[in-house]
Amino acid sequence: MSRTPKEAKEPAKEEPAASGPAAGTEAATEKGGRRERGAKGKEAKDGKDSKETKEGKGKSKGPPTGKAPKFVPTNPNFRYIVRVADTDLDGTRSTALALTRVRGVGLRLAEATCRLAQVDPHAMIGDLAEPVVEGLETALQSLPKQLPPWMINHPTEPILGESPHLLGAELETRRRDDVNVMKMIRSYRGVRHERGQKVRGQRTRSNGRTGMAAGVLKKAAKEAAAAAGKESAPAAAATPAPAAAAPAAEKKA
């Protein structure tokens, strides 16, 4: 039998390429459209970047929010730091608030001091002249004589029999001396000071605990007891009971 040769596959018919000026114009339009699209995309990206950079620069250049403007004094003799009762006070604050910086002086005592020295409590202490500041310090020293005893921070002085109002470092020194005296005479408050416990009758069941935490110790004690119980159980089972030998000895006797 004769085999028929395989039919050759017919190649796909290709359309004739357009020639002439029409083909050139079509190719040019396609390339131009691609270029325009690419240019538009770049412009859009550049525009976004430029906007972001401009916004960022604008935000960075703007004044910081939440900060008060810097104080500019009009008085040529203005002082930013005023020394009263061995304490540096801020000259930009009002007189009454600045005096509260002194240890042992609260807002009520500061206003009373301003009234005694005849000074406006709302005026800046940096604008006050030196004689006026000295008057304020003199008024602070004369508070025990001008005010009632319930406004004094040390109304009873058993040794000297006076009622001084302590200021600055002298207040802390006198407080430490009073605590040491209570410890020496072994009073209840002195003993509580020594132990680091509450002194004025507060409850200590839920707060005021000092030293190591109780919860951690309780947990560790439970674990130690459980471990000791496990170790003692096999040891008790291994050792024979000594009570069994006693009746045998009695029978022999």
Q: Is residue 109 part of a domain?
A: yes
Q: Is residue 98 part of a domain?
A: yes
191 pLDDT higher than 90: yes
Burial of 82 (0-12, 13-18, 19+ CB in 10 A): buried
* Mean pLDDT computed over 22-42: 58
Report the C-alpha gap between 35 and 52 in whole angstroms: 26
Report the C-alpha gap between 61 and 49 in whole angstroms: 18
Which domain range does residue 136 map to? 81-151
Q: Is residue 143 part of a domain?
A: yes
Residue 9 backbone class (left: φ over 0; alpha: ψ -120 to 50; beta: rest): beta
Domain count, the chain: 1
Sign, Cα dihedral of 43, 44, 45, 48: positive
Amino acid at 29: T
List the CATH number of the domain containing 96. Answer: 1.10.8.50
Q: Is residue 114 part of a domain?
A: yes
Q: Is residue 233 part of a domain?
A: no
* Mean pLDDT computed over 97-111: 93
Overall pTM surpassing 0.75 (yes/no): no
81 pLDDT higher than 70: yes
Q: How far is CA 214 from CA 163, 192, 223, 225, in A?
A: 44, 20, 15, 16
180 pLDDT higher than 70: yes
Report the C-alpha gap between 89 and 75 in whole angstroms: 18
Q: How far is CA 94 from CA 74, 114, 166, in A?
A: 16, 11, 23
The enclosing H or E element of 214 equals helix 214-238
Q: Is residue 177 part of a domain?
A: no
Report the C-alpha gap between 164 and 155 in whole angstroms: 7
Q: Is residue 89 part of a domain?
A: yes
25 pLDDT higher than 80: no
Q: Is residue 31 part of a domain?
A: no
